[in-house]
Amino acid sequence: MAHPPATGPIAFLSDLHGNLAALEAVLGELDRLEVKRVYVAGDLLLGGDEPLAVWHRLQDLGAVCARGLSDMALASVDPSSLLPLDDEQRRLARLFANTRAAIGDLVAERLRRLPEQVRIPLVDGREVLMVHGSPADSGQEISHDLADEEILSLLADDPADIIVCGSTHVPFQRTLGEYHVVNVGSVGSAPESGIAHYTVLTPRMSGADILQDWIRYDELQAS
């Protein structure tokens, strides 16, 4: 699917994990910033209490989504095949089964059909690649604690100029030669409890401005 060149600000989110309150808080910020185009780097539904509502909200937005590991699991793994061995595994198996039941077969199939990679041209001729993990392997994450050489190996000589990823839940940016790597953190499952991360990229003819920020959604729920 070809995407039109981005001439205005675009938002990148990741790892929503079925957390509707966190997503709504971020969308409120994006509305305030007048950002209309939303891209999501996978792990959309598994983990929170409102997976189906999150899916419908993304569809209403016209959000462009890539497929994460948990999305593929929901699309391909039969919950009855899981054989948990301890209490924590049993908890996770119940969560998986409940999420799969909530979203149903149709949404599971749509998750399966999501692309692993999304490419977005920018008005200055550069290109953004969005992937859940890394260009080399959508299941292998780019984390902030990797050395430059390790990150470069995961970029696999991809032709894109800006690599946007998620998976680790920890946002960061790093410039490596001609590449700019942006991990957008997590909307629904950030390490800091009650916080949702988001990234806004504004294309310029001389490059791109990249804002990484967060909002507390737990305080919004309490108010």
Establish if 4 belongs to a structural domain.
no
Q: What is the total count of domains within the chain? A: 1
Cα-Cα-Cα-Cα dihedral of 17, 113, 102, 104, to 10°? -170
Establish if 5 belongs to a structural domain.
no
Report residue 41 CA to chain centroid gap. Answer: 3
Q: Give the CATH number, domain containing residue 24.
A: 3.60.21.10
What pLDDT is recorded for position 222?
Answer: 54
This prediction has a pTM of 0.95
Give the pLDDT of the chain (223 residues) as one tens digit per residue. 667 777 789 999 999 999 999 999 999 999 999 999 999 999 999 999 999 999 999 999 999 999 999 999 999 999 999 999 999 999 999 999 999 999 999 999 999 999 999 999 999 899 999 999 999 998 999 999 999 999 999 999 999 999 999 999 999 999 999 999 999 999 999 999 899 999 999 998 888 899 999 999 987 655 5
Establish if 46 belongs to a structural domain.
yes
Establish if 118 belongs to a structural domain.
yes
Establish if 205 belongs to a structural domain.
yes
What pLDDT is recorded for position 5?
Answer: 79
What residues make up the domain containing 159? 10-222
pLDDT digits (tens, 9 = 90+) for 1-57: 667 777 789 999 999 999 999 999 999 999 999 999 999 999 999 999 999 999 999
Establish if 163 belongs to a structural domain.
yes
Establish if 160 belongs to a structural domain.
yes
Looking at every residue in the chain, the average pLDDT score rounds to: 95
Establish if 1 belongs to a structural domain.
no
State the DSSP H helix or E strand holding residue 95, giving kind and residue range, or none if neither: helix 87-112
**Whole-number Å distance between alpha carbons of 166 and 188:** 12
**Burial class of residue 29 in the structure, from the number of CB atoms within 10 Å of its CB (0-12 exposed, 13-18 middle, 19+ buried):** middle
Confirm if 19 and 46 have CB atoms less than 8 A apart.
Answer: no
